[in-house]
Amino acid sequence: MKVLVVEDEHKIANSIKKGLELENFVADVAFDGTEGFDMAASGDYDVIILDLMLPGMDGVEICKELRSEGVHTPILMLTAKSQIVDKVKGLNAGADDYLAKPFAFEELLARVKALNRRPKKLDGKILSAGEIVLDTQKQTVTSEGKEMLLSVKEFSLLEYFLRHPNQVISKDRLIASVWNYDTDILPNTVEVFVASLRKKLGREVIKTIRGFGYKIARGDRSPSEALAKEDKSSNHV
């Protein structure tokens, strides 16, 4: 699991980070609201632990902005205040849960795990790159209207690329996000799966940015246009 901690009190933030890492989580820390928002909006996290009172942008503002941009990552709001009005304010802004300071780390950990077990909200059922169309609901991938047979891990890897179009993605980031550090994955393993995808989808789909990682270009067609073309092709079979 990958968690973002946005907390301006360094002692608390570092303590949470250390505790999460002892539980084999990957934990990133931001010490102000502006940096926290940027990381939350561009990163790939399973849960965000967000303090209410922050310099730059406060927790409520961050919640509202993330939700307005379609970021549905579960958010656990932290605050030194325990009044009901602050709890309601955070939840109304888009937070999923609330924990008042001071708190026991065991309770925070239990709440983080509970949030991660909730069904994930997907920001779109159809993802595409050129002639490649991935349907997250049907769990299918087609190329030029023909269905491709992918393994579960190949599908997850392709979906991750399609959800981050035109971004250069490192091997370490792929390991953290697709494999979740749950096995002894080596960088060479990523190369093997990328090579397998290229063989099935075409070498031009996933580009190697030497020294940095990989990148996929989504293309000019919208997901709805891609789906319409796929449906049209299937109707002529």
Token pair of 173, please?
Answer: 């980031």
What is the predicted pLDDT for the residue at 153? 83
Number of domains into which the chain is organized:
2
Instruction: Locate all alpha helices (DSSP H) within the chain, ordered by sequence.
Output: 10-22, 33-42, 59-68, 84-93, 105-117, 152-163, 171-174, 187-201, 223-235
* Last residue of one domain, picked from the residues 117, 139, 158: 117
Alpha carbon 188 to chain centroid distance? 23
Residue reference for tokens 């370490």:
172
What is the predicted pLDDT for the residue at 221? 43
What's the Cα-to-Cα distance from 129 to each of 51, 135, 153, 158, 199, rounded to whole Å? 37, 12, 18, 10, 16
Whether residue 159 has pLDDT greater than 70: yes
Lowest mean pLDDT among 12-26, 114-128, 150-164: 114-128
User: Minimal CA–CA distance to 75: which of 118, 32, 42?
Assistant: 118
- Domain span holding position 148: 126-235
The domain that contains 105 carries what CATH number? 3.40.50.2300
SS3 content of the chain, % helix, strand, coil (to 5): 45, 20, 35
In the predicted model, what is the mean pLDDT of the chain?
82
Residue reference for tokens 């605050």:
79
The verdict on 83 and 177 lying in the same domain is no
The verdict on 83 and 148 lying in the same domain is no
The verdict on 217 and 142 lying in the same domain is yes
What is the predicted pLDDT for the residue at 177? 76
Whether residue 228 has pLDDT greater than 50: no
- CA 76/CA 216 separation, integer angstroms: 32
User: Minimal CA–CA distance to 133: which of 118, 146, 150, 119?
Assistant: 146
User: Minimal CA–CA distance to 145: which of 217, 236, 222, 220?
Assistant: 236
The verdict on 7 and 113 lying in the same domain is yes
Please compute the mean of the pLDDT values over residues 74-93 and round it to a whole number.
78
235 — pLDDT class (breaks 50, 70, 90): very low
What is the predicted pLDDT for the residue at 51? 94
Q: Output the pTM of the full model.
A: 0.55
Lowest mean pLDDT among 6-20, 84-98, 150-164, 180-194: 180-194
Please compute the mean of the pLDDT values over residues 1-20 and round it to a whole number.
95
The verdict on 11 and 99 lying in the same domain is yes
* Last residue of one domain, picked from the residues 117, 145, 179: 117
